[in-house]
Amino acid sequence: MLAVKVVAGERWLADDYGRQVARLRSFSEIIGGLGVDAFIVASGPSTKSFDFKRYRSYSFISMNGSISAFEDEDVKPFIYMCDDASFVCDRPELILRGVNYSKHIAASLEVLSGIYNISPDALKGKSIFLLERVNRFIGRKPLSDRAYAWSIRHDPDLICGLSLIRRSPNRIGFSLNMDKGYFVARTIPYVALQLSYHLGVRRVYLVGVDLDGAMGRFYESGEEAVRTSLHQDYDKFIEPSFEWMSRKIVRKGRYEVYNLSIASKLPSEIVPKLAQCDLDALLGII
C-alpha cells in the first residue's frame, strides 16, 4: 500500500520504504485545461454510438473501462479517473491502459496502490492527482455525516445538504474545489462533474451515462461482465445527487450539464437530453 508523504510542502506517493514514487499535484494547477466545453465519458452502452472523431477537438474526461472507446477511436482523454479499487483487481489491463493513454490521472490512494502493485513503473513521470472523498481525508478522523455537514455549512466550496433530523440529506452535495474532496453519489460520472466545475468548464456533455445496470457496460459481454451496483444505489444516492446538482449548482451561462444518452435512466427534467443535432447547434458545428 502506497502512502502519502509531505516533502518540502509537497505531497508525494511513497512506497513501504519511504521512497518517493510520484508527486501528487493540486487540481488547481490545471484549471482551464479542459476548456469551456468538455465531454465526460462513462461506460454505458450508448457510448458505442458516440462519434468521438467528430468532437475530437474538445477535451474529454474518461473513467474506468471507458478508456477502451478512446483507444478504438484514436482520441486521447485529458484526464482519466478511477476511485474504485475493485476495478483494478477486476480489469487490470484497462486501468493500465487508462494510465498510459491519458494526459493526467486522478485516482484514489487505493487505486494508485493497486496500479503500483501491478506495475511499479506505471506511475513514473505521470501527472497524478489524488481523489479523496469529503470527510474521508487521509490522516484525518471522519466525522458523522451530520457533524461533517454542519462543519462545512459556511464553506463556499462545499455545497451540501444539512438536516438535524434525517441522515440522507447530509450525504448529498457537490464540491466546487476538488482539493477539498468530492461527494461520491455512488457513481464516478458525478465525481467527474465536480472536477469539471473546478477546472472551469461551462458546458458539460455526458456520454454513456445510461445509469441502468441491466444494460451493462459497452466493453463487456457474457461471462466477462462484472456485476454493477447501479440498481442498488440509483434511487437512494444517484438520482438524488443529480437532482441536488441541478437545483443548487447548474446555472444557465455559468455551469450547464447535458446528457447525450437519450435512453438514460436519469430524467431529462434533472439533466436535459440532447440529440446530436442539438449538440452541434450548441457547439456551433455545421
Distance of CA 44 to the CA centre of its chain: 14
Give pTM, 2 decimals: 0.95
pLDDT confidence of 72, banded at 50, 70, 90?
Answer: confident
- Give the model confidence (pLDDT) of 142-199 as tens digits: 999 999 999 999 999 999 988 877 777 888 999 999 999 999 999 999 999 999 999 9
Number of other CB atoms surrounding residue 145 within 10 Å:
19
Residue 226: pLDDT band (50, 70, 90) is low
Look at residue 219 in the predicted model and tell me its pLDDT: 81
Alpha helices in the chain (DSSP H): 67-73, 85-90, 92-101, 109-118, 145-151, 188-198, 230-233, 239-248, 276-283
Domains of the chain, with CATH numbers? Answer: 3-219+227-283 (3.90.1480)
